[in-house]
Amino acid sequence: YGSRRGTRGFVPPIRSNGGNSGNVTSRASATKGEDSLDDSTKRCMDALCGPDGELPEKLRNLEPRLIEHISNEIMDGKPNVHWDDIAGLHHAKKCVTEMVIWPLLRPDIFEGCRSPGRGLLLFGPPGTGKTMIGKAIAGECNATFFYISASSLTSKWIGEGEKLVRALFGVASCRQPAVIFVDEIDSLLSQRKSDGEHESSRRLKTQFLIEMEGFDSGSEQILLIGATNRPQELDEAARRRLTKRLYIPLPSSEARAWIVRNLLNKDGLFKLSTEDIDSICKLTEGYSGSDMKNLVKDASMGPLREALKQGAEITKLKKEDMRPVTLQDFENALQEVRPSVSLDELGTYENWNNQFGSLS
Ligand code: ADP
């Protein structure tokens, strides 16, 4: 786990449709275009049609294969994360509830002076629960969740990113309330400028900002969440649109204890004493939530490794014969699983938070 997640959120390349990239004007009128669409593309388009059988206007000039990609790969109808799955982060949860969840649940109350910003930035070290928060927000408001990694837009969708962004916002507006989660948003809205910046990535950025502007001023129930572990790379335009900026820090000692207890309990493996847990917390200062998960995984292998070392056969081993996970297993695992965030990095986040973060 480096400071930059490369493989998470992998977006597979789109399937070729045998050259049928022609636009569909509406389901009813574009029979010619539709004939050449394969069944799965047709199903996606049909699912987006209104009660009148027409494709909503926003989608009419978009390529069906992009709409299909958004529907199948980027959209997640029911993300399975709840507030209770997230350790600590009480402050962030409280802020998010007030500024995001209530407005999505009661748009009628959050009008005028109370109208919320539609852009939220979650920043902080990798593996601290930013994506979990995005999913939990969608879950709490029964919103459709869209997850896209911004670096995939610039790396895998070269030349097509703009169109994909239009399709993304188009499909989201047909699936309201919607939460669009853009991971590594810095790679899309960074302030690195001109000479190195390709024309295509400049256009992509402009398109993205236009789309955001569009739903920000309208009555659409769409929330955009950007996540980054490089907030200092965002430019002024990005900061202006992401009006709420919440620091998602490393887990506190209590939150780390909670993660250990919760994960082991799920498997019925939790037998540690309060003193053991205290020791684990002391030894894991600086570990992220994701580091903690990896640590628990490694520690829970301890009893199995030991049983096999003592001659047990994997095929005959009974679960109930294995000893519980001990503090010693954690101490061994600590040799393998190191914290992925450095102290220097933390300083950068804190400075940025003091300068640009939202306090409430
Ligand atoms: P981020 O988006 O901040 O990089 P994620 O939300 O993807 O991190 O977290 C990665 C994994 O680490 C999660 O699936 C979860 O298992 C674990 N994790 C991270 N933070 C927390 C937390 N606060 N509470 C519980 N689990 C966490």
Q: Which residues line ligand 1 (CB under 6 A)?
A: 86-89, 126-132, 227, 251, 255, 259, 289-290, 293
Instruction: Give me ligand 1 centre to Cα 87, in Å.
Output: 9
- Which of 86, 131, 132 maximizes ligand 1 atoms within 8 Å of its Cβ, making it the mutation to test the pocket? 132
Q: What is the mean pLDDT of residues 109-137?
A: 89
Instruction: Give me ligand 1 centre to Cα 290, in Å.
Output: 5
Whether residue 5 has pLDDT greater than 50: no
Q: Closest ligand 1 atom, CA of 87?
A: 24
Whether residue 309 has pLDDT greater than 70: yes
Instruction: Give me ligand 1 centre to Cα 157, in Å.
Output: 27
| Contact assessment for residue 121 and residue 231, using Cβ atoms and an 8 Å cutoff | yes
Whether residue 69 has pLDDT greater than 70: yes
Q: Closest ligand 1 atom, CA of 259?
A: 25
Q: Output the pLDDT for position 20.
A: 42
Instruction: Give me ligand 1 centre to Cα 293, in Å.
Output: 8
Q: Closest ligand 1 atom, CA of 134?
A: 6
pTM: predicted TM-score of the whole model, two decimal places: 0.83
- Which of 293, 297, 341, 345 maximizes ligand 1 atoms within 8 Å of its Cβ, making it the mutation to test the pocket? 293
Strand 75-76 vs strand 144-149: parallel, antiparallel, or unpaired? antiparallel
Instruction: Give me ligand 1 centre to Cα 130, in Å.
Output: 7
Which whole-number Å values give the CA distances from 215 to 118, 172, 177, 210, in the listed order? 8, 10, 12, 9
Nearest residue (CA) to ligand 1, atom 7: 131
In this prediction, the answer to ipTM > 0.90 reads yes
Q: Output the pLDDT for position 206.
A: 85
Instruction: Convert the pLDDT of each residue in 82-105 to its tens digit.
Output: 899 999 999 999 989 988 888 888
Q: Closest ligand 1 atom, CA of 124?
A: 3
| Contact assessment for residue 138 and residue 298, using Cβ atoms and an 8 Å cutoff | no
| Contact assessment for residue 256 and residue 280, using Cβ atoms and an 8 Å cutoff | yes
Whether residue 295 has pLDDT greater than 90: yes
**Which CB contacts under 8 angstroms, 24+ apart, belong to 37-45?**
37/64, 40/68, 40/72, 41/17, 41/65, 41/67, 41/68, 44/68, 44/71, 44/72
Q: Closest ligand 1 atom, CA of 248?
A: 3
Nearest residue (CA) to ligand 1, atom 11: 290
The terminus-to-terminus CA distance of the chain in angstroms comes to 30
